Amino acid sequence: MALERVLDASTGPLRGLLVLDFGQAAVGPIAAEWLGMLGATVIKVESPKGDFVRWATPLIGGMGTTFIGNNLAKLGVVADLKTAEGLERARQLIANADVLIENFRSPAIMERLGLGYEVMAALNPRIIYVQASAFGREGPWVGMFSHEWVAQTVSGFVSTTGDDEGIPEWSRATANQDWNGAMMNLAVVLAGLLRREQSGRGMMIETAQLGSSIFAGITRFAELLVGQASLPVVNTPRPMGSARPNVVPDQSFRTADGYINLCVPSEKFWLRLCEVLENRALAAAQFATNDSRIAHRRELIQILDGIFRRRSSMEWIEQLRAAGVPCGYHEAERRQSDVLLADEQVQANSMLQRVATPHGEIRSQAPHWKFEKTPTAIMRGCPLLGHDTERVFAELDRREHINPHPGPPPFRGREEDKPHAGVLEGLRVLEIAEGVAGPLCGMMLRRFGAEVTKIEPPQGDWLRQLPPKAGMSSALFLQLNPGKRSLIIDLGTEHGREQLAHLAQDADVVITGYRPGKIARLGISYEDFKHNNSKLIYCEITGWGANGPMADLPATELALQAMAGLTRHLGIKNGPPVRQG
């Protein structure tokens, strides 16, 4: 329902959709911003006072950087919802919209204003309404205010973040839980839009920042829930500096001139590390497996500390990367923005974009996604308060029909006959991924109702081996893979590739989570899949991006945190890096 006369040309798979952002601060506005990056027309609806973060310091050209960063790719209108005129404007927008997102403290606020979902659905049966509250509809905290640092605290995030003395810390300069909540809101909108294509009906979707923040710690909760009953070395999660409880080593080390980080998620990487370090003490039996390295963590880390202090960070990085050991370095001197602007990998994958705003040009993260046929881009900056009010409503007034797509008639069957399947029921997904990122994507699709088939190599997903164990499998693996079908296919053989090709003919989505070079070596090709299934969506998840000098290097959580500068927002100046979460 786009307002064609008002809008600049947009690109992206959501072009033509109209999104209303009634939110403030972060969780709602960021989700709406990402919908704008995906091509939707997004209108930010504000009171005459404006979003309360508009003038929060620091400022650029008199405008808060938080507001600018959270509201790119939007038009702006003013509607005072406490007046009859403002409510009429809101109803006019709702009647023409595809999506409305707001992050008021509870659903009761829109209902009190006379804009609850029943009113919206009467105006526009196709609208998808996302109510992103702080703590949900029920319970003792309903209606309470939340923000990043509240969410970090109540979700348990701070209990796993801090120095190795066990003192919890907030992540002080990055809004992890705001962004995570926004990403969850984006996901439910996209799932709702797909369901609407099948049913013709809109829906109300409720989310809560508390729930999305708990979800962000899903693997840590897996450690907690079974760790107490399995390996005695894995206990209730606590701050460990840059270290990780269930993989050793997976942390930062002091070098001659700074800090690096490395990770050995499986024994093949341990052997590679031993070859690089050329130290006989590492060949001892007590370091042969991850379980034994966990049991002898202190002794091993002492040895590694002594080794890494002998050379500079970049000397170690070059050797470790050449050997294929997952690693990264921690920048301490230059501003992180300068580091990223100059980085070859960032440039090769166009991860940053210049954006003109009314308050001056900025560099912003470019859209996360690289679509083959519908490229995404940030087409406009953030709006001035009410800048587009007159022309947006003038266009609406010109429309002959306020609601041209009334949707199907309401359900008339018996209540017990009403379908209760997930919004992605009938969607078939193949997951060719190990570890966390790809399986987490598959897990979310499964929770939405899709049928997900996990393709594992003969030796299984390496995550199966990590402690703590629940029975024979890792608790982390079980947490990320419930409800999926599992097939063992050796993609290194011709027969295995034929099996995969056959499965892909009937699939809707294929998710891969390997490095680009490994995908090529396995003979997996989107072009081949597309030839046999032109409707297939092929989603390739990589650590460092598909292009650039680091494209085929292994990536880890800590290395990515260091690259993005997240570890600099914890600990003390010139002190050892601290891992977030």
pLDDT per residue over 104-143, tens digit each?
988 889 999 999 999 999 999 999 999 999 888 888 988 8
What confidence tier does 421 reach under pLDDT thresholds 50, 70, 90?
low
In the prediction, which pLDDT does 422 show? 85
Instruction: Please tell me which residue, 6 or 519, carries the higher pLDDT value.
Output: 519
Cβ–Cβ < 8 Å for 468, 223: yes
Q: So what CATH class is 18-217+348-398?
A: alpha beta
18-217+348-398 and 240-333+557-568 in the same fold = no
Instruction: Please tell me which residue, 415 or 556, carries the higher pLDDT value.
Output: 556
Both tokens assigned to 148 = 């990043």
pLDDT of 410 strictly over 70: no
Cβ–Cβ < 8 Å for 356, 383: no
pLDDT of 472 strictly over 90: no
Paired residues of 63 in beta bridges: 60
What confidence tier does 234 reach under pLDDT thresholds 50, 70, 90?
very low
Mean pLDDT for all residues in the chain: 89
Q: Using H for helix, E for strand and C for coil, what is the string for 294-353? A: HHCHHHHHHHHHHHHCCCCHHHHHHHHHHCCCCEEEECCCCCHHHHHHHCHHHHHCCCEE
Of the chain, the percentage scoring pLDDT greater than 70 comes to 93
pLDDT of 404 strictly over 60: no
CATH number for the domain whose boundaries are 428-540: 3.40.50.10540
pLDDT of 296 strictly over 90: yes
Helix runs in 113-266, H state only? 117-123, 148-154, 176-199, 209-216, 218-227
In the prediction, which pLDDT does 238 show? 84
- Residue 101 per-residue DSSP state: E
Cβ–Cβ < 8 Å for 182, 26: yes
Domain boundaries, the chain: 18-217+348-398, 240-333+557-568, 428-540
Residue reference for tokens 């009953």: 229
What confidence tier does 96 reach under pLDDT thresholds 50, 70, 90?
very high
User: Count of alpha carbons within 13 Å of 276, Cβ hemisphere only?
Assistant: 25
Q: Which of 192, 209, 202, 157 is nearest to 27 (CA)?
A: 209
Q: How far is CA 482 from CA 75, 263, 307, in A?
A: 41, 26, 41
User: Count of alpha carbons within 13 Å of 394, Cβ hemisphere only?
Assistant: 7
The DSSP result for 14-62, as a single string, is TTT-EEEE---TTHHHHHHHHHHHTT-EEEEEE-TT--TTTTPSSEETT
Both tokens assigned to 152 = 């970090």
The distance of Cα 50 from the centroid of its chain, to the nearest Å, equals 28
| 155-191 pLDDT tens trace | 888 888 998 877 888 888 778 889 889 999 999 999 9
Paired residues of 455 in beta bridges: 487
Cβ–Cβ < 8 Å for 328, 251: no
Q: Which amino acid is at 231?
A: L
Q: Which of 64, 20, 17, 72 is nearest to 40 (CA)?
A: 17
Helix runs in 372-493, H state only? 389-398, 437-447, 475-480
**Any idea which of 162-166, 303-307, 405-409, 538-542 has the lowest mean pLDDT?**
405-409
Round the CA-based radius of gyration of the chain to a whole number and report it.
25
Instruction: Please tell me which residue, 234 or 311, carries the higher pLDDT value.
Output: 311
What confidence tier does 152 reach under pLDDT thresholds 50, 70, 90?
confident
What confidence tier does 4 reach under pLDDT thresholds 50, 70, 90?
low
In the prediction, which pLDDT does 6 show? 53
Rounded Cα distance, 137 and 141, in Å: 9
The DSSP result for 232-272, as a single string, is TT--S----TT--SSSSSEEEEE-SSSEEEEE--SHHHHHH
pLDDT of 416 strictly over 50: no
pLDDT of 236 strictly over 90: no
Both tokens assigned to 557 = 């959580």
Both tokens assigned to 576 = 């050892």
Q: Which of 112, 333, 95 is nearest to 202 (CA)?
A: 95
pLDDT of 466 strictly over 50: yes
Both tokens assigned to 279 = 């130290």
Cβ–Cβ < 8 Å for 467, 547: no
User: Count of alpha carbons within 13 Å of 97, Cβ hemisphere only?
Assistant: 30
What CATH topology corresponds to 240-333+557-568?
formyl-coa transferase, domain 3 (3.30.1540)
Q: Which amino acid is at 495?
A: H
E strand or H helix at 279? none
In the prediction, which pLDDT does 257 show? 94
State the average pLDDT over residues 63-79.
94
Paired residues of 538 in beta bridges: 510
Rounded Cα distance, 149 and 253, in Å: 29
State the average pLDDT over residues 371-399.
90
Residues in the chain: 581
Q: Which amino acid is at 48?
A: P
DSSP SS3 for 217? coil
pLDDT of 8 strictly over 60: no
In the prediction, which pLDDT does 413 show? 36
Helix runs in 343-474, H state only? 344-348, 389-398, 437-447
Q: Which of 166, 61, 90, 28 is nearest to 393 (CA)?
A: 90
> Looking at the whole model, is its pTM more than 0.95?
no
Q: Which amino acid is at 459?
A: Q
DSSP SS3 for 529? helix
What confidence tier does 412 reach under pLDDT thresholds 50, 70, 90?
very low
Of the chain, the percentage scoring pLDDT greater than 90 comes to 66
Q: Which amino acid is at 38?
A: L
Torsion of CA 91, 94, 95, 98, to 10 degrees: 180
What pairing do the DSSP bridges indicate for beta strands 352-357 and 360-365?
antiparallel
Residue reference for tokens 């030796």: 459
